[in-house]
Structure 1
Amino acid sequence: MLYDLTALDERTRTHRGNQPKSDFTVVYHLLSFSRNHDIRIKVALIGEAPAIPSVTSLWPNANWYEREVWDMFGITFTGHPHLTRILTPPNWTGHPLRKDHYARATEMDVYDLTEEKEFAQQKALEFNPEQWGMVRHSKSSDFMFLNMGPNHPSVHGVFRLVLQLEGEAIVDIVPEIGFHHRGAEKMGERQSWHSFIPYTDRIDYLSGVMNNFPYVMAVEKLAGIDVPARAQVIRIMLAELFRIASHLVFFGTMSQDVGQLSPVFYMFTDRERVFEIIEAICGFRMHPAWFRIGGVAADLPQGWDRLIRDFCCYLPKRLDEYVKLVIKNRIFKARAVGIGAYTLDEAIDWGVTGPGLRACGMNWDYRKARPYSGYDQFDFDIPIASHGDCYDRVIVHVEEMRQSLRIIRQCLENMPGGPYKSDHRSATPPRKERTMHDIETLITHFLNVSWGPVIPPGEVCCAIEASKGMTSYYLTSDGDTMSYRTRIRTPSFPHLQMIPLISRGSFVADLIALIGSIDFVMADVDR
């Protein structure tokens, strides 16, 4: 699988080791499931207008990744079928992830929108089917288009689909993303290692601290920080709670998309129970930003075990009800079975991970294949299905919630003692009891929080099995208090790219179910 494709602007980097001279570097991350190994290929490029051959003929999911690299870095991929901007508007000037591009609005001139500029921007947004390789479906028909989004409730966010139709049948689709782009990777170059943590929460905003997980793990690996056992188990427990919360949103909205109104209210009520536990532990609900470099922000409060125990007794019965209410409902089956199916080979070609991959029969979960934070000490199963359609993707999500409950129960029963954060000097911030000892310690604490620790030069990629698939952070340190390059690989980005393939020949009503079954968040796509 082409797991990720990104680039670095090397022109201001100091510590490059024995790497060849380059102005820009294109980085390919390849993942072998059968060998359970990764390969990282780096290509050095020279000059202000670098170019490299496209790999879309080998991996179809390289299409969007190469467009993103061109958009962000100005690197041309020769042979690409449609190399256009993807995250910024079509008339954007410059390439935002180059080191010489501004990062804040205060660094540019005052914005003005003349009538001429407004007309040019509107003209640039016009859809031209021929540019996208679209052709008339039959001699007797003309192009017929339907815009879904970017403000349609069934596209789950600011996401636009341009549908070419022949009656109700879908001939082709052009997905358009970027409406939600906030420059999270650029922000990573302007924040300290510690102060970037709250930004990670907003990537997949349904998964909370699960977004912190791969980021802090990557920083800890760069700094050589060992995380205490108690902190590791606390992280797992919180991550699995957020997995359940995210899956409940998916399950409820999926059933709503195909016509069932009641389940989404029931499931959001259960999600509130999850948030009550998270708020009691972390002090906040959706975006607690609670993981820290070296551990977690605080120890578990008194009474946490009772909250967890009550929830673990409550939810299984509710899931049984939802299976009867939704999964076994014949109308739901009619709308989901056999719709939006793809094979295992297609899933690998297009970079599908998580429940979408396991719905094709792939018995592969990052928590099992490459256990992190102590997942190898937990007993749980990997739910799989075989047809790769909308129905199987829902089935896998429901069973994953049951497995998350198993893991949470084991956290409850086997929570180790000891510190909740490492004593390593780069753990940020230091534990509270070590802060008020004397003025020197207090000053060190202040500098650690405001400037952040100095992380040794190097690069590292850490991944987790997030709620929607594999999420990873590829961090490059130049021996500073800030990241030189922060690459965020999210599962939703490649998943949406697959929509045209699995929707051609379907009906518009089928597309609604198909989109709902993918389980994506637009902030996870656009970053």
Structure 2
Amino acid sequence: MLDRVDIKQQLFERFDERTFTEQITADGMPTLWVGRDKICDVLKFLRQDSTPAYRMLFDLTAIDERVREHRLNQPAADFTVVYHLLSLSPVAEIRLKVALFDDDLTTPTATGVWPNANWYEREVWDMFGITFDGHPNLRRILMPPTWKGHPLRKDHAARATEFEPLHLDPKRQDEEENALQFKPEDWGMKRESGDTEFMFLNMGPNHPSVHGVFRIVLQLDGEEIIGAVPDIGYHHRGAEKMAERQSWHTYIPYTDRVDYLGGVMNELPYVMNLEHVLGIQVPERVKVVRVMLCEFFRITSHLMFFGTYVQDIGAMSPIFWMFSDRQKAYDVIEAITGFRMHPAFFRIGGLTMDLPNGWDRKVKEFLDWFPSRLAEYKKAMARNSVLVKRSKHIGAYSQDEAIDWGITGPGLRSTGVDFDLRKARPYSGYENFDFEIPTGTNGDCQDRLDVRIEEMFQSCRIIEQCMKNMPAGDYKADHPLTTPPVKERTMQDIETLIAHFLTVSWGPVVPAMESACMVEGTKGLNGYYSISDKHAMSYRTRIRTPSFAHLQQIPLISQGGLVADLVAIIGAIDFVMADVDR
């Protein structure tokens, strides 16, 4: 792993050391405060000239600091803009911060350094009201255009009961509909060029090929796509705002609903982050159970992708077969967790309960049946001549373009980059498993399909190793902040009963800290950045999802293609709108 002193030394040598203020964080990530007049220069240096080069803008967000009580050794600020940069080889991270004040909430845009800064900066403006000078089109991205206020500010209402009852009379309905009218000039588009008059076509937000409430406005010259404007936010539910009103452990079920096809995969970075901060070492049995369940959800998510992608291309039957096959995987998940899609099975420090009797028999039955079934799908569908012609060389992007746009997971590996966090920086015991990292060559729709198919085979290998090598031991750490504690230890005396009641009701009081954790999710890198102000609930929870980054690439990879190609491109990205909008 990179010596953290080294990157700081490089920055101090390239810039005046007084340019930076260092902050110690619970996750140990190098964290430096920079003045807004220097932030773009520092970002460019880290992207291009540092060793290693932090090629990817992994995340960009903000914090409302105005009511935060514990900010030890941090510069004064009303708001903070946070940049999270990532190097893929070697795996290294750095966090930069810019302090802003109420009377001047402006900082330069980073869109000249990374193209994917565009949406992240729009989100920060939408949620916090921070302006990025030089941004090409700073407008709302998650909230409706008519929304008043900035929802992630601490003085903005958090519950429906704090608002006036919604009354959508005809006048207001007209106002809302007019606000959604697409004006090409606002996006730098022309209505005509030379002898050509362009047509503008709405796809979505209710359209079978956009996989949810997702809208794309297309600029067309006949059937050819000249430009595309993705429009998101129709599924926004305020998941990060809700984290400020839930205790640390009662927020776990909310995580399942982010990538709602990923199940416990959403819970893992959240609980691992808190376990690291609280110093909780989970038993080996817990690690292996977590890995096994995550890989089951990788299979169910990829099966959904496979079936819907083939359906988008034009085959109708496979989606029904794959839905049936997913049910067999969900049967195993339900037998172990008690639930199917959203188990909320992981806990801070362990699991809800131990594995039930006979769990290994259910797992073995699935492993004996599924790989041959998947091989049949691969031969009959993924190699179908029509699908290949509709997928090969469609929606292709290079390795550099993928990294510039923040693409991770199968989308990145389809370009030939063999980056998988389970191998590059193992967590939860993944270093003990034998599996391969499938990669593609062209970064096109066909490669993105093939990578996911091969990943399902690898998930079966991992699950089999879990089944054959499941450690004995407890399903929960013996730690006072584990939530909820083991029930058998709560009836000894009144003190243990009270402690159990308070822990279940409130969860742990987490020390004042900042910490981030990421995992290799079903669609790419999932990350949680948690800030505690020494309370029983989060001061700020940032959810970094892969789908939000992935949808930004659509204008790039669809330009020059046909509308039919766009349908394949959207399907091959494999996104979930709840994962985009949160």
| Both structures adopt the same fold (TM-score exceeding 0.5) | yes
CA distance 1:48–1:306, shift in 2 (3 Å)? farther
Which has the larger displacement, 112-121 or 457-466? 112-121
Cα distance in structure 1, aligned partners of 2:192 and 2:111: 25
Aligned match of 1:200: 255
Cα distance in structure 2, aligned partners of 1:321 and 1:414: 29
Matched, 1:277 2:332: yes
Matched, 1:230 2:269: no
* Deviation at residue 439 of structure 1 after TM alignment: 2.9
Aligned match of 2:465: 410
Contact 1:194–1:428 at 8 Å: present in 2 too? yes
CA shift digits 1:206-242 (9 cap, x unpaired): 0111110000011111211111111011000000000
Aligned match of 1:452: 507
Matched, 1:356 2:408: no
Cα distance in structure 1, aligned partners of 2:320 and 2:368: 20
Aligned match of 1:328: 383
Cα distance in structure 2, aligned partners of 1:354 and 1:440: 47
* Deviation at residue 432 of structure 1 after TM alignment: 2.0
* Deviation at residue 299 of structure 1 after TM alignment: 0.3
Partner residue of 2:370 out of 300, 312, 315:
315
Matches within 5 A, 1:32-431: 32-136=87-191, 138-431=193-486
* Deviation at residue 114 of structure 1 after TM alignment: 4.0
Classify the secondary structure of the residue corresponding to 2:525: strand
Cα distance in structure 2, aligned partners of 1:125 and 1:397: 36
* Deviation at residue 431 of structure 1 after TM alignment: 1.2
Which has the larger displacement, 200-209 or 130-139? 130-139
CA shift digits 1:131-165 (9 cap, x unpaired): 00112453222231111111101000000010111
Contact 2:391–2:446 at 8 Å: present in 1 too? yes
Which has the larger displacement, 307-316 or 470-479? 307-316
Classify the secondary structure of the residue corresponding to 1:257: helix
Cα distance in structure 2, aligned partners of 1:48 and 1:107: 27
Which amino acid is 2:199 matched to?
Answer: M
CA shift digits 1:53-84 (9 cap, x unpaired): 00001100000000000000000000000000
Aligned match of 1:518: 573
Cα distance in structure 2, aligned partners of 1:144 and 1:198: 44
Matched, 1:491 2:546: yes
Contact 1:137–1:166 at 8 Å: present in 2 too? no
* Deviation at residue 342 of structure 1 after TM alignment: 0.2
Classify the secondary structure of the residue corresponding to 2:193: coil
Contact 1:6–1:69 at 8 Å: present in 2 too? yes
Aligned match of 2:498: 443
Cα distance in structure 1, aligned partners of 2:571 and 2:439: 19
Cα distance in structure 2, aligned partners of 1:458 and 1:450: 22
Matches within 5 A, 1:502-517: 502-517=557-572
Contact 1:143–1:165 at 8 Å: present in 2 too? yes
TM-score, length-normalised on structure 1? Answer: 0.99
Which amino acid is 1:377 matched to?
Answer: N
CA shift digits 1:161-198 (9 cap, x unpaired): 10111111111100000000000000000000000000
Classify the secondary structure of the residue corresponding to 2:161: helix
* Deviation at residue 117 of structure 1 after TM alignment: 2.7
Partner residue of 1:7 out of 55, 62, 75:
62
Classify the secondary structure of the residue corresponding to 2:114: coil
**Which consecutive unaligned segments of at least 5 residues does structure 1 have?**
none
Which amino acid is 2:327 matched to?
Answer: E
Contact 1:49–1:74 at 8 Å: present in 2 too? no
Classify the secondary structure of the residue corresponding to 1:467: coil
* Deviation at residue 49 of structure 1 after TM alignment: 4.7
Cα distance in structure 2, aligned partners of 1:262 and 1:115: 43
Cα distance in structure 1, aligned partners of 2:169 and 2:568: 42
Which amino acid is 1:375 matched to?
Answer: Y
* Deviation at residue 435 of structure 1 after TM alignment: 2.4
Cα distance in structure 1, aligned partners of 2:308 and 2:166: 39
Cα distance in structure 1, aligned partners of 2:313 and 2:371: 24
Cα distance in structure 1, aligned partners of 2:467 and 2:103: 55
Which has the larger displacement, 434-443 or 353-362? 434-443
Cα distance in structure 2, aligned partners of 1:312 and 1:89: 46
- Report the aligned-residue RMSD: 1.0
CA shift digits 1:267-322 (9 cap, x unpaired): 11110001000100000101011000001100000000001111111111001100
Cα distance in structure 2, aligned partners of 1:23 and 1:323: 54
**Which consecutive unaligned segments of at least 5 residues does structure 2 have?**
1-55
Of the two structures, which has the highest relative contact order with CA contacts closer than 8 Å and spacing of 6 or more? 1
Cα distance in structure 1, aligned partners of 2:297 and 2:548: 20
Cα distance in structure 2, aligned partners of 1:26 and 1:275: 41
Contact 1:49–1:76 at 8 Å: present in 2 too? no
Which has the larger displacement, 320-329 or 495-504? 320-329
Cα distance in structure 1, aligned partners of 2:389 and 2:497: 63
Which amino acid is 1:127 matched to?
Answer: F
Which amino acid is 1:470 matched to?
Answer: L
* Deviation at residue 444 of structure 1 after TM alignment: 1.4
Runs (4+) of structure 1 moved beyond 4 Å?
A: none
Cα distance in structure 2, aligned partners of 1:230 and 1:175: 44
Cα distance in structure 1, aligned partners of 2:193 and 2:112: 28
Classify the secondary structure of the residue corresponding to 1:121: helix
Which amino acid is 2:144 matched to?
Answer: P
Contact 1:165–1:171 at 8 Å: present in 2 too? yes
Cα distance in structure 2, aligned partners of 1:38 and 1:265: 42
Cα distance in structure 1, aligned partners of 2:98 and 2:417: 31
Cα distance in structure 2, aligned partners of 1:449 and 1:219: 16
Classify the secondary structure of the residue corresponding to 2:515: strand
Task: Quote the sequence identity (%).
Answer: 64
Matched, 1:500 2:500: no
Contact 2:191–2:199 at 8 Å: present in 1 too? no
Contact 1:225–1:424 at 8 Å: present in 2 too? yes
* Deviation at residue 48 of structure 1 after TM alignment: 4.6
Which amino acid is 1:258 matched to?
Answer: I
* Deviation at residue 34 of structure 1 after TM alignment: 2.1
Which has the larger displacement, 113-122 or 210-219? 113-122
Contact 1:54–1:78 at 8 Å: present in 2 too? yes
Aligned match of 2:9: none
Classify the secondary structure of the residue corresponding to 1:269: helix
